[in-house]
A = this chain, B = another copy of it.
Amino acid sequence: MKHIYAFNEGSRDMKDLLGGKGAGLAEMTNLGLPVPPGFTITTEVCNYYLEQKDFPQGFYDELDEKLAELEHKMKKGFGDAKNPLLISVRSGAKVSMPGMMDTILNLGLNDETVQGLVEKTDNPRFCYDAYRRFVTMFGNVVLGIAHDHFEAALESAKKEKGVELDTDMDAADWKKLVGVFKQIVLEHSGKPFPEDPRQQMELAIVAVFKSWNGKRAITYRNLHGMSHHMGSAVNVQSMVFGNMGDDCGTGVAFTRNPSTGEKEFFGEFLCNAQGEDVVAGIRTPEKLSALHDTMPAMFDQLNEVQRQLENHYRDMQDIEFTIEKGRLFMLQTRNGKRTAKAAVRIAVEMMHEGLITKHEAIKRVDPNQLNALLHPSIDPKFKKEVLAKGLPASPGAAVGQIVFTADEAYRLAEDGVKVILVRKETSPEDIHGMHAAQGILTSTGGMTSHAAVVARGMGKPCIAGCRDAQVDDKAGTLMIKGQVYRAGDVLSLDGALGEVILGAAPTVEPSLSGEFDELMSWADEVRTMKVRTNADTPFDAEVGRRLGAEGIGLCRTEHMFFDEDRIMYVRQMILSKDAEARKEPLAKLLPVQREDFKGIFKAMNGYPVTVRLLDPPLHEFLPNTDGKIKAVAQEMGVDFEALKKTVDALHEFNPMLGHRGCRLGITMPEIYEMQVRAIFEAAKAVTVDGLKPIVEIEIPLVGHVNELKFMRELIDKIAVEMAPLNFAWSVGTMIELPRACVVADQIAKYADFFSFGTNDLTQMTFGLSRDDAGTFLPYYTEHHILEENPTETIDQEGVGQLMRMAVKLGRGAKPGLEIGICGEHGGEPRSVMFCHEIGLNYVSCSPYRVPLARLAAAQAALRD
């Protein structure tokens, strides 16, 4: 096996082996661009080293060989006291990654070779400056000695000399400082600074490898769902110097504006500087126009190179370059990171320029990025103070006074005050407060907790499971890292990043560009899966339609039950002794439910609306205080104590596994009957207005075919009673229990459609509750027990396997069975792609995720 590739042996297609940087250097070399020669040690060596704590067999021979080649090419000797070869050592994973060791420059310098360099360059100040930089970088990055120590020594040297700027230091000063720095190295590492260039190089290579498993790198990969098994390559490259005089310099540029996407050559340049000076922020770089003004020939050559690179890569490039004494050297090219806005504009414009095809344009935008386009965001220019981080449960920015109860949120919002609702966790009783709030912050719960799900549905920013926040709603305090915040204190939330920010952060409103619409229309042309929205209100339905939803995949009827004007009847319904006593409250609920459905059918005219009959455990609706119980008792004319006992008796140990879903519909059929009548009456009513409702009645939590059979018979009976029904209607079921997947063939016989409820299916399959998993799921992903959080993206090998089974069995029993998904995963791009792969007809997600799903569905279709 080959362990090391010279730049001219690699290519852009070898990113897995050479890393992003190495592949870019190789490609540029092959294009004939001016790249300082060098070689890349593969990611395989890295992985081998991390497992075996040693280099693979034959590695040293190859290294010798490549080094000799490089010396030959450069006509210099590594460690040669007369004509020393200096190199840089850089990490280079497949995807660039903060937290990895970055760069060691000027490697190869020691007390001997620096002399040779002085002789060659006749610039002792430059040489000793380079030397002291090298010792600092090596000491810091390779030997792990804090930067402060070197910094302090430099400061004290300057003080001693009575100067303020580095530029005031001369060769002798730097030389003396090199000695001081080496002393620091000896003190802190217990060993003298390695003078042998070969040893320097090996230590640097190992440092790159080890930095792959550094804490920050791991955190980064976890946050970005990246595999921990890729490893990093190491790039060894001959040095070029941008700091040898005013005909030198270094810069970073983008072939298009990465912020706006505008087609302009965009970047920064620093004259007479090494790259690290730009990074360190010691001097402020100038715009590229400065280069145009001072070295027009250089600018023209660079401009030509960037044009060539963009045309070659057919994507916006992020490039690094150095000018050494009037010669241009390219040090990096890679696809440039860009904002969502820029991503969309660049993709669409490149298509119009003929650079890429429509299909490529679709593939160029990461669906997850679209979030940022659809929600307001914290002004990136704002210097924010992040108090705590939680789960980015629902994107967008929110600013407001904190409040601790839904009622208070509602009251203040009525008065026009902007509030942020802070809770341990929300419950359905908080809905009105969540609606009223700008954003929601919870200290517990995961990405699919009640707060997260409802907030996403509302398109409201939400940070869930913020473990650093301690909420005491009785005391009315929020404690973050020892600091107490009270009602009225102003905080800001960045729901996309999960950041709780001190004070009122300025926000930027989203605006959807023409390019956005164009890209979406291309996506719609190619995708084969439909995209629907989850919507419980006419308002949500309209938002969904505006964002391209082709129907409602999940209309939850339970949220409708919480409105102030009906919760009393709902409670009466639940607490009634028998079917007879339930009649009265049900009769009162029927007309309000009918009005709910009319509004939704109007908003979704001509598109299917899947209405799920009542699902959650009844006790969610129960009065939870004595006062509320008293009110219901009075209304019902029953004894308070007796009613309290009834309420207690409805308590469940594991409500998720309790008396819910169709179990309600079966044991108290009159509740579902009322709902079905309300649905049919609403559909009839809007038909009168010339509308075309398409009604899909969905039975939740079916595990056994008889449950669906029972419900279907009930609905068919009602349909006969209410005939004629002059609109399309059908009956189907959620597939959200493992058992339903296993017996999907039986269930399909009574179902016109299936809809995967992957929230519950994931909970049951894994045996974990979304509300409680916060105690171990974060630990699991941090420690690689699970690479990904299954409540965020479908667990394809477990849950997904059951879904495959259900699709196969269901369609086997009923060819052409319509199957969709309405769990939260329906708006998560990788899950959407999986749904396409297993042949679903549609995905459904919260309104603000509809564009993501449309794009992801298109990308999935293009993968076929």
- Taking each of A736, A738, A742, A767, which has the highest tally of chain B beta carbons within 10 Å of its own beta carbon? A767
Decide yes or no whether A768 CB sits under 8 A from chain B: yes
- Distance of A652 Cα from B654 Cα, bound (Å): 9
Chain B residues whose CB sits within 8 angstroms of the CB of A703 once the complex forms:
765-768, 798
Smallest CB separation, A668 vs chain B (Å): 10
- Distance of A656 Cα from B656 Cα, bound (Å): 9
Decide yes or no whether A797 CB sits under 8 A from chain B: yes
Decide yes or no whether A539 CB sits under 8 A from chain B: no
- Distance of A316 Cα from B822 Cα, bound (Å): 61
- Distance of A763 Cα from B746 Cα, bound (Å): 20
Decide yes or no whether A52 CB sits under 8 A from chain B: no
Decide yes or no whether A801 CB sits under 8 A from chain B: yes
A768 and B704 contact, CB distance less than 8 A? no
B654 and A656 contact, CB distance less than 8 A? yes
A657 and B739 contact, CB distance less than 8 A? no
A653 and B769 contact, CB distance less than 8 A? yes
**One of A69-77, A304-312, A675-683, A770-778 contacting the partner:** A770-778
Decide yes or no whether A666 CB sits under 8 A from chain B: yes
Decide yes or no whether A454 CB sits under 8 A from chain B: no
Chain B residues whose CB sits within 8 angstroms of the CB of A659 once the complex forms:
772, 775-776
Interface size on A, residues (CB 8 A): 49
**One of A13-21, A32-40, A624-632, A781-789 contacting the partner:** A781-789
- Distance of A776 Cα from B669 Cα, bound (Å): 13
Chain B residue at minimum C-beta to C-beta distance from A645: B470
B654 and A772 contact, CB distance less than 8 A? yes
Decide yes or no whether A290 CB sits under 8 A from chain B: no
- Which residues of A657-716 have CB atoms within 8 Å of chain B's CB atoms? 657-659, 663, 666-667, 701, 703-704, 706-707, 710
- Distance of A613 Cα from B272 Cα, bound (Å): 65
- Which residues of A744-795 have CB atoms within 8 Å of chain B's CB atoms? 746, 760, 763-769, 771-773, 775-776, 779-780, 783-786, 795
Chain B residues whose CB sits within 8 angstroms of the CB of A773 once the complex forms:
658
B652 and A769 contact, CB distance less than 8 A? yes
- Distance of A795 Cα from B663 Cα, bound (Å): 18
Smallest CB separation, A579 vs chain B (Å): 13
- Distance of A746 Cα from B798 Cα, bound (Å): 11
- Distance of A765 Cα from B736 Cα, bound (Å): 10
A798 and B766 contact, CB distance less than 8 A? no
B654 and A743 contact, CB distance less than 8 A? no
Decide yes or no whether A348 CB sits under 8 A from chain B: no
Chain B residue at minimum C-beta to C-beta distance from A443: B649
- Which residues of A350-400 have CB atoms within 8 Å of chain B's CB atoms? none
A783 and B666 contact, CB distance less than 8 A? yes
How many copies of this kind of chain does the complex include?
Answer: 2
Decide yes or no whether A589 CB sits under 8 A from chain B: no
**Among the listed B663, B738, B776, which residue makes an inter-chain contact with A667, where contact means beta carbons less than 8 Å apart?**
B776
B656 and A785 contact, CB distance less than 8 A? no
Decide yes or no whether A799 CB sits under 8 A from chain B: yes
- Distance of A225 Cα from B795 Cα, bound (Å): 38
A701 and B767 contact, CB distance less than 8 A? yes
Chain B residue at minimum C-beta to C-beta distance from A799: B739
B785 and A657 contact, CB distance less than 8 A? no
**Among the listed B667, B775, B785, which residue makes an inter-chain contact with A710, where contact means beta carbons less than 8 Å apart?**
B785
**Among the listed B657, B746, B801, which residue makes an inter-chain contact with A742, where contact means beta carbons less than 8 Å apart?**
B801
Smallest CB separation, A717 vs chain B (Å): 16
- Distance of A704 Cα from B737 Cα, bound (Å): 18
A737 and B766 contact, CB distance less than 8 A? yes
Chain B residues whose CB sits within 8 angstroms of the CB of A98 once the complex forms:
none
Smallest CB separation, A373 vs chain B (Å): 35
Chain B residues whose CB sits within 8 angstroms of the CB of A270 once the complex forms:
none
Smallest CB separation, A473 vs chain B (Å): 12
Smallest CB separation, A589 vs chain B (Å): 22
Smallest CB separation, A265 vs chain B (Å): 48
Decide yes or no whether A296 CB sits under 8 A from chain B: no
Smallest CB separation, A185 vs chain B (Å): 33
Decide yes or no whether A655 CB sits under 8 A from chain B: yes
Chain B residue at minimum C-beta to C-beta distance from A776: B663
Smallest CB separation, A701 vs chain B (Å): 6
Footprint of B on A, CB under 8 Å?
Answer: 652-659, 663, 666-667, 701, 703-704, 706-707, 710, 736-739, 742-743, 746, 760, 763-769, 771-773, 775-776, 779-780, 783-786, 795, 797-799, 801-802
Cβ contacts A to B, 9 pairs, < 8 Å: A652-B772, A653-B655, A654-B655, A658-B768, A663-B775, A667-B775, A706-B784, A736-B767, A739-B766
